[in-house]
Structure 1
């Protein structure tokens, strides 16, 4: 499988969300949009419980690193979360699998990583993009970097320790650096 990339323009971000909504379900579009805004790894995103949300903050312990992610939720993300909560007041997980509801004796479970991966890959193929679950995190990092040109802020948001890794991660290439030299004439 090829490495997934950051989505580098807002129109494509919106198109992906739209296609996920109509090809699959609004829940998959919610994963996309909330995932973009939280910049979490997919395992942490899918494991969010409603009781991890405290007012306008999300507080979780990242599975991969053990670091605490204490994230301020922006108004769009809060609105999506509140809509999910209103539609499914009995859910434990933000992205709870509907299959668990069909089999009442099973405890609640979040959507599977596999289901999200397949949906993202299929939309990516339709758009001729290398799209995957990590694209959300990479896209958030890329867009923050483009808005601020502050790699330190991006590193802090992604909880990275290496500037080089962060630059490669968000897809800043030599071509991008060359274009910056051309665009900025002093």
Structure 2
């Protein structure tokens, strides 16, 4: 049933937000020359998919987990995108095509072996990854793999439609931070 909501809300979101997305694309072209960033992530049943985001770092930045990224690699416009969470907007495409859900565990990189082990042990890969979820609204990021996997499993075990909408509203209205770049 959540797939129907995901499809409907992501389609409506992409349509309604298309003027903003176009403006952000144009500014992104000026900022880095390549406004959309595609990165392989681990999805449902550990199937890889390509996650879309607005680029917030310089083009040649090494592909590592956000908490390991060099803060100096973030562009000024990228900093704005991250603080406002607008860098996540292209993921509505991932939700629309079924790679992701609006609510679920954040998809990790294939090289985050400890997190993969912890999530696999707890059955987290049984559902689609999401843009937001319990860990994000509690400000738990991928720097603590076991805590993140436990929190993801808790969300899955307790998941219902009230949580689905609660996590979306909490995220839209400023609760949660997702993965943050650690200041040196």
Same fold (TM over 0.5): no
Whichever of the two has the greater Rg, that structure is 1
Higher relative contact order (CA 8 A, sep 6+): 1
Q: Greater share of strand residues, 1 or 2?
A: 2
